[in-house]
Chain A
Amino acid sequence: MTFFEAKDVVKQYAGHKALNKVSISVPKGSIFGLLGPNGAGKTTLIRIINQITGPDAGEVFFNGQPLKPEDVKRIGYLPEERGLYKKMKVGEQAVYLAQLKGMSQKEATKKLKAWFDKFDILPWWDKKVEELSKGMAQKVQFIVTILHEPELLIFDEPFSGFDPINANLLKKEILELRDKGATIIFSTHNMGSVEEICDHIALINKSEKILDGPVEQIKKKYRTNTYEINYIGEFDKLDQVLKADFEIIDQAKGIEFNTLKIKLNNGSTSNELLEQLLPYLNIVSFREIIPNMNDIFIRVVKESKTI
């Protein structure tokens, strides 16, 4: 079931198009990765979802309905450019931000204290923000983003600036929120960082969406049928004994073992390859090279250029 949908969204700024007919569809309860290099238009799309700015053309649906101003209550947003008032007290400020999301002061205070306790920052409640370490300030920002229990959570470059410990904490909490039913959108240019937790992605490049779908499907689609074989022993005439369907891409000598990369063409299988190799080589390991998002991205960008 689709929880959030953008249809043919266009956003034009003087001189350039930030988004050119971009459509995405975020399933309910999924972790959706919005990937692309810097300046591709991710943040513009996110700002449209948050109604910070409006699309010039196209439609945006939230839970099946056209996006309404009241929906901001149901969205939690951690922007890439995030900060806090330095001179304000931590607790006071968190309550203020929660109130702006429509929570009552009492409710906000109660929930905030529970979260602060969970994240071990309760003793800093009455301190000024400028006294906090960066990690603590990030915790506060995260808590404020999720406090009003939004159905849709948007994180723009969430892990930039987080130290590994906090990044892990963040990942854990986000997965927990997803398990409780929240839908999550991650936006990042660092594709490796979210690959393992996203189940859907959309790739955006130069204002256009160039690829989207479930991660598994995409990976399947962009399989290269290439295998990496580590072996011990010497055999120079491999290209002479192998069937023509097995294309040797790379052959390298190492200290402990040598490495071979072979691409399977014309529907030949890995078993056939193994059969062929066994008489000649002492195989240490044999695995399929699965392309990561970065590789896929680069490939798609190249392909879209040649079209």
Chain B
Amino acid sequence: MNKIFIIIQREYLSRVKKRSFLILTFLTPLLIAGIYAFMIWMMLKDDTEKRTIAVLNESELVEPVKSSEFTTYNYLQNASFEEVKSSMEKKGYYAILVIPKNILQTKTAELFSHKQVTIEVKSSVGRQIRQHIEKLKRSKIIAEANMPDLEEKLAATRTPISMRTIKFGEGGEIKQSSTEIAMGIGFAASFIIYMFIFMYGVQVMRGVIEEKSNRIVEVIISSVKPFQLMMGKIVGVAMVGLTQFIMWVVLTGIIITVGSALVLPGVDMETLQQAKSVAELPAGAASLDAGQLKMAQDILGTFDLAYVAGIVGAFIFFFLGGYLLYSALFAAVGSAVDNETETQQFMLPITIPLILALYIGFAVAKNPESSLAFWGSIIPFTSPIVMLVRIPFGVPIWELLLSMSLLIGTFLLITWIAAKIYRTGILMYGKKVSYKEIWKWLRYHN
């Protein structure tokens, strides 16, 4: 046991001290913080591009679009489309807006430009025309109805509805939930697991190949059992992965907190964050009102400690389970080859279930109740990734326990098999190994 600890220590320290580990560990949070800062900057930044748009108004509407600080609308009287088009470049027009004569019937206006018109310009023009026409129609009705206060009464009928989704918790208590946020968290967690299994599984494989090609492996296994060497490496690398993950979380947190305090004083980060997720809702809400912000805050408020701890706990369990399962296979592959270029043929059966799991995860995020979701989160080769997508939506406890125990059981079985391959493989030099050969190794005893 003591020897395994010495091996774990070496595997851990030799990797953590590497320059590439330090760079990756410290640069990634900077990168994440950078992307985050960029997104905030994009959100805060107004469209300050000055644009002039030529307007050919053939309708009876009177100046339906009005110039703002940055966008100027030039109404051209008695000009033909062809003329304006040919003089576009000279006069510096960004686009030509054509409002047809019969716009009240067709409800269509046209924007001509050389470059793709930005969404903001398009929606701003559309909104202004729509409001203009609505206003016209409304005043007409008001005038015809001859009712005082009709305008106010009509305005009072406008009732925006916000949907709050609430699910029943395990103990029957009511929890507020957000489908979008659950999806986001689940998918992010499962993607990180996918990435980590790959990254660190390959590190285990490289480590085994290194020992083999350096010819040190026989020196070591005359002191320790091959199984101890393999497990020591797997556990050591797992700890490197956990260290990196924790460093990323902590460093990103620090950078974002400190950075936002320095760069964006007076901007409430939480409000911004919530504002963003609400803005993405397809409710046509161009701007936020206080009620919506309040709702977003409510949603985040329902992330109680138990919920977060549950997700973090599941993340660590399924990360370790999935990693251990796959890294044992990666170790076996490493032992069967002489150098990394030969790994291709054996990598396929490992990478296919992993990639499949990621795609199942995509599908499950959309429909967490499907049978695909059930089986994907029970079968151990996909469960670490698929289950993480499901967990934020809530998973029956028996399914969770079944999935976990199957993962542990399979991990033990696979490790046993991998150890058999490993034990024989590490002492085979200069031999091209086939699947048939590996099958023979499995039947050697000792």
Residues of A within 8 A of B (CB): 13-14, 47, 50, 52-54, 56, 72, 75, 77-79, 81-88, 96-97, 99-102, 141, 144
Contact = CB atoms under 8 A, between A and B. Distances in A.
Interface in B424-446: 427, 429, 440, 443-446
A47 B214 CA distance: 19
21 contacts: A47-B427, A54-B446, A72-B223, A77-B218, A78-B219, A79-B218, A79-B219, A81-B215, A81-B218, A82-B215, A83-B214, A83-B215, A83-B219, A84-B214, A84-B216, A87-B14, A88-B14, A96-B6, A99-B3, A102-B3, A144-B219
B146 interface: no
A141 B218 contact: no
Interface in B4-30: 6-7, 10, 14
A81 B6 contact: no
Nearest to A46: B222
B220 A100 contact: yes
B218 A82 contact: yes
Nearest to A56: B445
A81 B444 CA distance: 22
A39 B427 CA distance: 14
Contacts of A47: 427
A172 B224 CA distance: 29
A77 B219 CA distance: 7
A97 B210 contact: no
Interface in B203-255: 210-211, 214-216, 218-224, 226
A83 B217 CA distance: 8
B14 A100 contact: no
Contacts of A78: 219
Contacts of A102: 3, 223
B443 A14 contact: yes
A54 B14 CA distance: 32
Contacts of A79: 215, 218-219, 222
A201 B445 CA distance: 30
A82 B219 contact: yes
A4 to B, nearest CB: 15
A81 B429 contact: yes
Contacts of A99: 3, 6
Nearest to A96: B10
Interface in B75-101: none
Contacts, number: 65
Query: Lowest 5 CB-CB distances: which A-B pairs, in order?
Result: A83-B215, A54-B446, A100-B223, A79-B218, A14-B440
B2 to A, nearest CB: 8
Given A100-B223, A102-B223, 5 more contacts: A50-B222, A56-B445, A77-B218, A85-B210, A101-B223
A218 B14 CA distance: 51
Contacts of B429: 81
A7 B111 CA distance: 96
A75 B222 CA distance: 9
Given A83-B214, A96-B6, A52 B440 contact: no
B374 to A, nearest CB: 41
Given A54-B446, A86-B214, A77 B440 contact: no
Contacts of B224: 100
A50 B210 CA distance: 22
A100 B6 contact: yes
Q: Which of B210, B223, B440, B445 has the most CB of A within 10 A?
A: B223
B215 A100 contact: no
A84 B211 CA distance: 8
Given A14-B443, A14-B444, A52-B427, A85 B214 contact: yes
A97 B444 contact: no
Nearest to A80: B218
B446 A53 contact: yes
Nearest to B439: A14
A11 B446 CA distance: 10
B446 A141 contact: no
B339 to A, nearest CB: 14
A205 B218 CA distance: 24
Nearest to B6: A99
Contacts of A141: 219
Nearest to B441: A14
Nearest to A53: B446
A288 to B, nearest CB: 42
A41 to B, nearest CB: 14
B444 A13 contact: yes
Contacts of A14: 440, 443-444
Contacts of B220: 97, 100
A47 B3 CA distance: 20
A136 B219 CA distance: 17
B215 A77 contact: no
A96 B3 CA distance: 10
Interface in B40-84: none
B222 A77 contact: yes
A82 B220 CA distance: 10
